[in-house]
Structure formats: C-alpha cells, structure tokens
Structure 1
Amino acid sequence: MSSHSVRTVRRRTALVAAGAVVLSLSACGPVGGKDPGSSSSSYEPVITTSTTEPPTSSSTSATRGGPRPPAPDAATLVARAKQHMSSMSTVSITGTLYTTVGRETVPVELRSAGSTGDLTSQERHAGASKTTLTLPNGGTLEVQAQGWYHYIRADAKWFAGLGRDDTTLAKYAGEWLKVTRDDSPVDDLRPNSLVKGSFFGKSLTPFDGAKASGSTDRIDGEWVARIDLPTGRGQRASRVMWISLDPAEPEMLRLAYGQSPAQTVYDFSGWNDTNDQFTVPKGARTMTKERLEGIGVERDGVSRAS
C-alpha cells in the first residue's frame, strides 16, 4: 500500500486504553498474565477499535484481511527495520506506566512526541520533543526538551498524587523549571531515548537479532510481524516487538517488556509525521539536579538509551 495509506491507517488505529494496556515501570521480569499480542489462542487479544478504512491496494488486502502471512525471518526483519527507522526523524509514543506511591502501584499515562534525534549515534543527541505524564488524580508533569535543555512543569495535583505535596519542591508547582538534559529526571522518556534504548546500540545487537524468533500477529485487524527477543544488555525482561509487514516501511508499531501485571508496553505511530517544532517556555527558573529530586516517578529497568 502507499506510504500515505499506511500512515493514515496507523494514525487511525486506536491505541489501547490506559486500563487495557498494562505497562510497568518496574519491568522486573515475567510474573504471569496475558500477552499484549493476539497471535496465539493462549493469549488474550489486545482490545482495540477497528478502523473502517477500506483496502486500497493488494498489499493492504494481504495485511488486513487475508490469510495469516508466513512467519518472517526475525534477524532479517529486525535488521531491515533498524535501517528504515534510522532514517525517521520524528515519532509519537503513548502508553501507561506504573510507579509505586507508598505501598500502592499507581498508573501513569505517558504521551511523548517529537524528534528521534540521531538513533545510530552512540551519543545522546539533542532534539525537540514534548512528554506528558498524567496521574489518576489528574496531576500532570510536562517536559519539553529543546536541544541541551529540558523545561519541566508539574502542577499541585502531581505532587499530591505522589504524596510529595509537603516537599520544598512542591512550592514550584505550576512554574516552568529549566535544567540541563543530563540532569533531567525524565530524559529516558523522550522519543530518542525510548526508541534508542530498546532498538539500537547495546540494547539490540546483531547477536540479539540472531537469537530472535519471528511469527505473525494482528493489531487492529492488520497482520504484522511479531518478534520475540531475548533479554538485551541493560534490560531486565524479555522483549516482544510488533513490526509492520510493509516491505517499504517496516516500522515498529508496539513494544512490550515482560508479562502482566509487571509489564511495559509502548505504542508507536506517526513515524516521520509528528510535529517537533515547539516554542521555548519563557521565564523558566534554572534548577540543579539536586533541587529537582523528587519531581519525577520511580523507574527501574524499563529502557535506557545506549
């Protein structure tokens, strides 16, 4: 199918609701539960809203309504996908993370969009992106990355939802705070870090690809490739990737770590079709890493940029 049709389908593919897509910041390894894919009867299918766009080509018919395609060669597809995605400049990522507040596990909705930076470089390159984390009480933490600086703003409900409304940092609720990227508490949740920390560099080596297994699965009625990967360097749980079977655009559509309830899942869309032009917030207060301690959420072993 054409590039326009592919992107249209993916943009219209509804993301799983926060309660249905289980994501975990602990990602400590398999603990039982259901898999987010739907390729086997032993797994519970992902709940999505089907699209109504009619097939526009033989390729669309083959991936959306035909019989199950043959299983792809995992190592070959991973290599092709890495090469293709290294040329992508922007992406949108959504999901629901889990963090611990006291003795309770609390869901945190994630929305991150903007520049992917230089995915193939060993350096953490700059770029513009916006990331928003939202707690069940409606509290939000906004992070806007602009080159070497991050601009961070948390509202009063954010501190209250994390049980930190009595901290010194809470007095800055509603204000934009400026910090260098290296000192940012959520640098690993921007698009460059999320993609690079799971698909490039030390996190996914050719050796990992050679050990992967491939099958086919359906996401929102469309046949896609499912790649089961071994635990990579810096990762604490096995990984599953869902990649488009479109030979011209083998893009990553979904990524999962471990098994529910201790599971992390990200949905990817808008490759090369996401805005990365933002205005720098004015009047931001310059902060240090030490002064910002406590503004983020606890994360352990999910993904790190290499």
Structure 2
Amino acid sequence: MRRVRYESTGGPLLLEEAPVPEPAAGELLVRCEAVGVTLPVVRKVAEAAEPIALGGELAGEVVAVGEGVTRFRTGDRVTGLCFGHGYADFAVLHETMASPVPEKATAVDAVALVRSGLVAYGALEAARPEPGESVLVTAAASGVGHLAVQLARARGAGRVVGAVSDPAKADFVRSLGADDCVPYGDGRWGDPVDCVLDAVGGDLLTPAVAALAAHGRLVAYSSGGGTVQAYDLLVGAKSVIGFQMALIARGRPELYERWRHELWRLFAEGTLRPAVHGEFALEDAAQAHEAIETRSNLGKVVLRP
C-alpha cells in the first residue's frame, strides 16, 4: 500500500510503499476513503523533534477486525481517530475510537463533520451560551470554526461573529450564518460578546479576552498556547475555560456518543453543512498541509487515498 511519511522536522512529505498493517486485538483495519488534515498534525510535522506517524481523522470501509472486536464487522463504514499512520491506503482504528457512518453520508462528509464537529460542539457546550447571547468564533473559516459558527446559530445565539486571518474569507463565513466577520487586525472586533470560542491562542488570546463583555466566557481549545493576564479577567469578571476533546472521549463516552448523534441529526436535517476546501491525493499531501499552514482553507482539508 501507499503511505505518507517524513524523515526530519519540517518534512518534506514522502510517498512510500509499506505493508498493509494487521489489526491487533480490539482494532479495525480500514480501507481509507478520506483522511482529514488537522492543524495539530501539521504543527507537529513542522515542530516535533522526532518524526511522528501522520495520523488523524479517517473514514472508510472495515476490511478486517482484530480479536475481541464486537461492535463492527467487515463491510461496515466507519470514521474515527487514528493514532498511527493514517495518511495511507489502509490504516488501523481502535474499536473504541470508531463510529458508524450513516448510509446517506459520504466518507468526506464523515471526516469533515465528526471530529471537527465534536470539538466545535464541545467548545460551545463549555461556553454554555444562553439563547440570545452573542458568540464570536476565531478561525471561523477553519475545519472546526466553520462548524462552530453554524452550531452557535442553531443553538439560538442572538449574534454570531466570525474572526478570520484574511478579510477575503468574510463572504464564506457570512454564508454559514454569521452576522458579521472581522479580521484579526488590531483586535478591534466590534461590540463585546458574551462568548468567544478560540481555536488560535498565542498572541490572539489578549484581544479575544478584550472582546468579551462583562461576565463573558472564553473557551480555549487551541494547541497554540498563549497567556492570559489575571487582571484582564478581574476587571470584567470574565472566565477562561479550557476544553479538550480527548478528555471527553476517554472519560465520558456516553456524552461523546450523544454529541455525535446530535451532529448527524443536524446534518440530516440540513442545519449543519460541512464545507470542504479541497480533496488532495496522497501524493499531494504537502499541498494539503500548505493550505493549513497558510491559513488559506475555507472549511476542511481532506486527503483522498
């Protein structure tokens, strides 16, 4: 089979031949039909001291199962998070990380919706906006952000604002249901909001906190780090809440499943529309990473083995 790897920090990404993996106990072997490209993986390629396996979200058909697997069988269509080599024709998923793909959904729908949608849904749950409150989403055109904008609207937000790196993304963000779209620029993002969902972190945390109204909540779910000054929280009785999807998946699987079912329900009724920036072949994985690195993507970036 074909597989993408790299040998040193920063790449380049290389396409190689590798043996088809065998599923161990509790694992599924999946023929990959779509693989989601994520910012954390792109950052690790650029920054990690040692090369990592290029994993992430994938969707496809189960072609073999390991010992003890009870929830799936060959022929099932699944999506899930792969911690090994996922940029490949075949990959293994642990049974606990896999979920079924509905009959009328495609593999691309699945990788664009499920993991990114769960992060967006969870971040919004952590913010707990009341009906009519305002929500600002940073990285609003990203794989997670464009779903967060739609979910905030579906939840009854009175005003939804998207913040983006490039003003050229404004029409796309407004098409998702945002009332306004603002560039990061100097951090002046209009009227204060009740909630901020921040996927960027770093230097953007300070203006994101400043964008909050009194008693506002910022949910930080970025891998970009950053520092918040306590005084900036005290003067407006503001809160910063950290959110990590892995803790929900491991510690509260029943909640994880409930959120996943809700995402597919909203998708089926047309309320939630995952957008795909581009579908790249495995040999074009470097171009897919570049779309993320340059922040040029509008929606999810997907590999199609």
Same fold at TM > 0.5: no
Query: TM-score, with normalisation over the residues of structure 1?
Result: 0.25
Structure with the greater relative contact order (CA < 8 A, sep ≥ 6): 1 or 2? Answer: 1
- The answer to which structure has the higher helix fraction is 2
